[in-house]
Amino acid sequence: MTEMHFNRRSFLKVTLAGMFVLFGGTPAFSKIAATESLPEGRLTLFNTHNNEKLSVTYRTGDGEYNPKALSAIDRILRCRYTEEVARIDIRTIEFLNRIDKDLGGGNEIHIISGYRSPEFNVNLRREGRNVAKRSLHMKGKAIDIAIPHIKIETVRRTALKLRKGGVGYYPTAGFVHIDSGPFRTW
């Protein structure tokens, strides 16, 4: 049996790595895991409900997250019904970024739905919309997107290849749902 000895530095590294995993790599730790190679953290988002546009670099090349940029992303993805702003899961943002880069990068991503307040989710269900009772939109872990000039089927295939989370396909509505939950499709 191998004995492990921890000095203060190795203990702190292990503790921080564990917190990073436990909290899903949230920006509270301001840097991504050194082992993961990610494309440039830059997105251009257009909210189709309020016509707001945002072009932002939320992560530097060396993995440093920009808290102001992440807050701007949270704001543009706010609930369209209540205007409530919620923290968007960094894994969802990274999934979206990866889709954009795999489709050539620099695309204007149209946001159909980002964060959804519980109140709005209930209203949508009352209207007979096909929304999940415990939707990941209510946790800031889901986004419905379309990318002009790129077929919705191509966006779907790109998201599926990444296997980073859930991928829902809504061709008649014209969007793809992505989330940072477990990999699954519908």
16-25, 33-42, 145-154: least confidently modelled range: 16-25
Return the percent helix, strand and coil in the chain, to nearest 5: 35, 20, 45
Residues in the chain: 186
Q: Is residue 151 part of a domain?
A: yes
For residue 170, the model assigns a pLDDT of: 97
Q: Residue 96: is its pLDDT beyond 50?
A: yes
Q: Residue 88: is its pLDDT beyond 60?
A: yes
Percent of the chain at pLDDT above 70? 80
For residue 5, the model assigns a pLDDT of: 47
Q: Which helix (H) or strand (E) element contains residue 91?
A: helix 90-102
Please state the domain count of the chain.
Answer: 1
Q: Label residue 61 by pLDDT band (50, 70, 90).
A: confident
Structural domain that includes position 71:
38-185
Q: Is residue 76 part of a domain?
A: yes
150-159 pLDDT, tens per residue? 999 999 999 9
Q: Is residue 13 part of a domain?
A: no
Instruction: Residue 149: give its domain's CATH number.
Output: 3.30.1380.10
Beta bridge partners of 81: none
Q: Is residue 3 part of a domain?
A: no
Q: Residue 122: is its pLDDT beyond 80?
A: yes
Q: Label residue 132 by pLDDT band (50, 70, 90).
A: confident
Q: Is residue 176 part of a domain?
A: yes
> What whole-number distance in Å separates Cα of residue 23 and Cα of residue 147?
30
For residue 85, the model assigns a pLDDT of: 98
For residue 30, the model assigns a pLDDT of: 47
Q: Is residue 102 part of a domain?
A: yes
Please provide the average confidence, as pLDDT, over all residues in the chain. 86
Percent of the chain at pLDDT above 90? 70
Ramachandran sector of residue 140 (left: φ over 0; alpha: ψ -120 to 50; beta: rest):
left
> What whole-number distance in Å separates Cα of residue 142 and Cα of residue 159?
13
Q: Is residue 42 part of a domain?
A: yes
For residue 36, the model assigns a pLDDT of: 57
Q: Is residue 129 part of a domain?
A: yes
Q: Which helix (H) or strand (E) element contains residue 43?
A: strand 41-47
- pTM, to two decimals: 0.80
